[in-house]
Amino acid sequence: MIDIYSTLKSTSHIAPVSEKELSDDEVLKELAAVRKRLGPRVVVYGHHYQQDDVIAFADVTGDSLELARHAAKLPDSTEYIVFCGVHFMAETSDMLTAGKKKVILPDLRAGCSMADMANRRDIDRAWSFLTKHSVGKITPITYINCAATLKSFVGENGGAICTSSNAEKVITWGLSQGEKLLFFPDQHLGRNTCFKLGIPLSEMVVYDPRRENGGLTAEQVSKAKVILWYGYCSVHQGFTPEHITMWRAKDPTRTLIVHPECSFEVTQGADLAGSTSYIINHIKAAPAGSKFAVGTEINLVNRLAAQFPDKDIQSLSPYQCLCTTMYRIRPRWMLESFRAIETGEPVNVIRVDEETRKWSLLALDRMLSIV
């Protein structure tokens, strides 16, 4: 089976509106004007990690699953979704709208480093080795942050998809289906969640697709309860135990709250860990004067600080933990996408083939039935 993203990467992508043609301010003005002319024919989705000048044009803001669920409920009058996120999010929206909407990714280079750490060829090779040497059934679980071809894989093999919000419930279900779990592509979310559920680190192993047989022996596979894929989020990998130590010394009263894509050591050292929605809702509900150091993407941290000026909200890291692939979606690319829609020749339309869609939706449905 061909990896969907491999196909996308070979597609020539549109050039942004030139700086010689329009200044930054003029881009924003024309973008607003075209957006108004298109009206309800177009809905703009903005992921939480986008910058403010992109979020300003978003009709709906949320995490990848929230936006995908919204897409599934769009009225017939909406013809286009301009997805200001990354490729796997646009794929999920296309699948959940059953191809009835044209989902547009303004820049095809807006990918995800974590998602790119697992592809269908490597997963198939790993599955062959793991199932050959496993004592007992393995249930595959994939984090929603992956290509459609991997969502299809878990659908085909009796597994399910999870998000950072529902990982505990889905993993609990997965372990009830057999003796072992294969979790990909984010090792940290898998490790943190499984440990929280009472599985010791000694019963977890990491499969590294860069090494022969993932760097594992048949005996290790046989003994393991959980096989974690060697993948991670480059943003959340940037938070370290030293940042925890720094804040503990600098301000012991500050609450340290992190995303479970952070490493085990960081998550264990923090006061709280949870999904993007969990972080937002916890900070929102906190009383005035509360102080937080937040271990997640910097655009979201800065937006929370601006949204809740009565609270002291800072990044856990003194350095900019920026999602560089999300950063590729900029107003100039958005304007070019809107112009193409207006002329009736949309570009960068994301489409998932029917076979991949069928199995991926089965995996999504399993997740929704669990949670």
Q: What is the pLDDT of residue 347?
A: 92
Buried b (16+ CB within 10 A) or exposed e, 104-126: bbbbbebbbbbbbbbbbebbeeb
**Max Cα-Cα span within the chain:** 64
Domains of the chain by start residue, with CATH = 4-110+325-353 (3.40.50.10800), 115-233 (3.40.50.10800), 236-315 (3.40.50.10800)
Is residue 65's pLDDT more than 80?
no
Quote the pLDDT of residue 243.
97
Q: What is the pLDDT of residue 102?
A: 95
What's the mean pLDDT in 183-191? 98
Provide the pLDDT for residue 338: 95
Judge whether residue 23 has pLDDT over 50.
yes
Q: Beta 272-273 vs 291-295: how paired, if at all? A: unpaired
Q: How confident is the model at residue 13 (pLDDT cuts 50, 70, 90)?
A: low
Question: How high is the pLDDT of residue 180?
Answer: 96
Q: How confident is the model over 105-127, as pLDDT tens digits?
A: 999 888 888 999 999 999 999 99
- Per DSSP (E only), the strands in the chain are 42-47, 60-62, 80-84, 102-104, 138-143, 160-162, 180-184, 204-207, 226-229, 255-258, 272-273, 291-295, 312-315, 349-350
CB-based contacts of 276-285 (< 8 A; 24+ apart in sequence):
276/48, 276/63, 276/164, 276/300, 277/62, 277/63, 277/66, 277/165, 278/165, 279/304, 280/48, 280/304, 282/257, 283/257, 283/308, 283/311, 283/313, 284/308
Does the pTM surpass 0.85? The reply is yes
Calculate the CA 60 to chain-centre distance. 16
> Is the pLDDT confidence value at 359 over 70?
yes
Tokens 């991949």: give the residue.
356
Query: How far apart are alpha carbons 319 and 306 in whole angstroms?
Result: 19
Q: What is the pLDDT of residue 3?
A: 42
Q: Tell me the pLDDT band of 12, cut-offs 50, 70 and 90.
A: very low
Are the CB atoms for 293 and 240 separated by under 8 Å?
no
Per-residue pLDDT of 341-353, as tens digits, reads 999 999 999 999 9
Name which residue leads in pLDDT, 142 or 328.
142
Percentage, residues of the chain above pLDDT 90? 77
Mean pLDDT of 242-261: 97
